[in-house]
Amino acid sequence: MNAPHRAGTAPRLSPDEIRSIIVGLVAAMLLAALDQTIVATAMPTIGLDLGDAANLPWIVTAYLLASTAVTPLYGKLSDIHGRRIMLLIAIATFSIGSILCALAPTMIALALARGLQGIGGGGLIALSQTILADILSAKERARYQVYIAGVFALSSVAGPLLGGFFAQHLHWSAIFWINLPIGLLAFILTNDKLKLLPRNERRHSVDYPGAALLVVSSTSLMLALSWGGVRYPWSSAPVLGLAAFGLLSGAGFAARLATAGEPLIPLSVLRDRVVTSATLAACFAMGTLIGLSIYVPIFLEGVIGLDPSRSGLAMVPLMVGTVVGATLSGRSMAYLRHYKRVPLVLLTLSVGACGLLAAMGHGLPLWLIEILFVLLSMGIGTVLPLSTIVVQNAVAPQQLGIATASMNFFRSLGGALIVAIFGTLVLGGAGGIGDGAAHDMAALIRGADAGQLGQTFRLVFLAACFGLVLALLCLALVEERPLKDSGGHGRDEPDRAG
């Protein structure tokens, strides 16, 4: 166990210690990323086993609501109490939630357990990214972004396969039991070494009224976006009421930011041009990628005519391109002074590839569609590491946690909006939703006319083009401030939170 050090005398972390922490952070991020994909393919089995298919969507909605709402709180609390204790709390909460999910006897119990799991999951990714900023300089950090992109690509490919395998050959509860060894690995690898992390000893307070307004606002808006056009028509009273309540409480949160002595999200962070433009770029890019990953399988099965297994394989290039783009962007940031050039060029290629899919996607051979998927996702992949690093590079050390968490929060909220837009286009183009009933995607594919569905996806790919153009414009507005090449932020003060 590392001996405590007085402030100002903490040693730099050795390469072995850094590698140990990074492996632990990758395991922590894998917990959150895998959980978002492994559940989907097991949902039909869960619904049959628990005998409550009507409330099945709450398995996803409860986690999404909880994880999004608490993300900024983790960032602020980590700035006050240290990263280590908050990350360990997140891992422990997520693991306890996983146990309760696996043992849940009813759908209501499972949804509540998923909410608890989401409370833990909301801190895993944001805190992991913040800890990387603590132990590595901006230039060093750029080289490690490929690991983060790799985690999401791995979870996107392996999650659905594992979920289907566990549900069919073992038991659906195995999709939650698998979190325990991963969580234990993350806990062991980070617990001791994270005691060396910096602690910015400044007096802070948490704006609890502002936090409550943010939670209420984000939860209401996420519910409106999740239910609109799926469970209820967009013009229905529940959706409009939730949207209005979310906007009203959001206005209250904005007023609180302007009047609180120490607001939850510092105004200096929100007013920084780099933070706002980079966050918006990530919002549009990531939201477009999530929307495509959800609805492109319908295009591959209903328009191109692939079976579900071949459709899953055809989605792999979309994930691989993201990792390639993140690698190129991260590596170039470490060596190029004008580090935006590579992302700008590749994101422009993404717009072109998406435009070609919109113009003639239903008539292209599969091999060319796969190449276009790679080009499309490569540009998106370049935005993800760049946005995180430039935001962290722009803020003060004592604001690292809340800045990183806020970026993840707004990216999730914006992603939900873009996914809702894609869903409206797909479901509306396939016949619309007049009765407010939830749509069965498999039934949609079986019942839709291939020609009509092809025209619908012309609009979907055009919407994706528009999203990528907005990401490109926001990225162009990011000021290229020199990346800090010294050691991690404030590494001269050890974290005594333990």
Backbone angles phi, psi at 6, to 5 degrees: -70, 155
Going by C-alpha positions, the residue among 339, 322, 338, 336 that lies closest to residue 382 is 322
Q: C-alpha distances in angstroms, 482 versus 114, 272, 336?
A: 42, 15, 10
pLDDT, position 466: 92
3-class secondary structure, 494: strand
Nearest one of 125, 127, 63 to 100, comparing CA atoms: 63
CA-CA distance, 456 to 428, in Å (whole number)?
Answer: 9
CA 188 vs CA 162, 182, 185, 193, 327: distances in Å: 25, 10, 5, 9, 28
Average pLDDT, consecutive stretches of 10 residues, N- to C-terminus, the chain (498 residues): 40 70 83 76 74 71 80 80 85 91 86 88 83 76 71 73 75 85 84 68 69 83 76 83 88 83 76 87 87 79 74 78 83 80 91 88 82 90 86 79 81 78 70 42 56 79 91 89 61 37
DSSP string, 405-439: HHHHHHHHHHHHHHHHHHHHHHHHHTT--SS-PPP
At residue 41, what is the residue type? T
Residue 192 CA to residue 323 CA, distance in Å, equals: 30
Q: How far apart are CA 132 and CA 127, in angstroms?
A: 9
DSSP 371: H
If one counts every other C-beta atom within 10 angstroms of the C-beta of residue 105, the result is 8
Q: Report whether 209 contacts 256 (CB < 8 A).
A: yes
pLDDT at position 182: 86
The residue count for the chain: 498
What per-residue confidence (pLDDT) applies to 348? 92
| Most distant pair of Cα atoms in the chain: their distance | 70
Chain centroid to CA 227: 20
Residue 297 tokens, joined = 């399988």
CA distances for 190 relative to 75, 187, 377, 385, 426, angstroms: 18, 6, 32, 22, 43
Q: How far is CA 382 from CA 182, 218, 316, in A?
A: 28, 28, 18
Residue 446 pLDDT: 55
- Whether residue 210 contacts residue 263, with contact meaning beta carbons closer than 8 Å, is answered with yes
SS3 484: coil
Q: What is the DSSP string of 102-155?
A: HH--SHHHHHHHHHHHHHHHHHHHHHHHHHHHHHS-HHHHHHHHHHHHHHHHHH
Sorted by sequence, the CB contacts under 8 Å of residue 324 that are 6+ apart come out as 374, 378, 381
Contact criterion met (CB below 8 Å) for 80 and 226: no
- Is the entire prediction scored with pTM above 0.85? no
| Nearest to 290, CA basis, from 389, 160, 219, 377 | 377
pLDDT of the residue at 346: 92
3 state DSSP class of 233: coil
Q: How many CB atoms neighbour CB 201 within 10 A?
A: 10
Query: Which of 396, 410, 486 lies closest to 79, judged by CA?
Result: 396
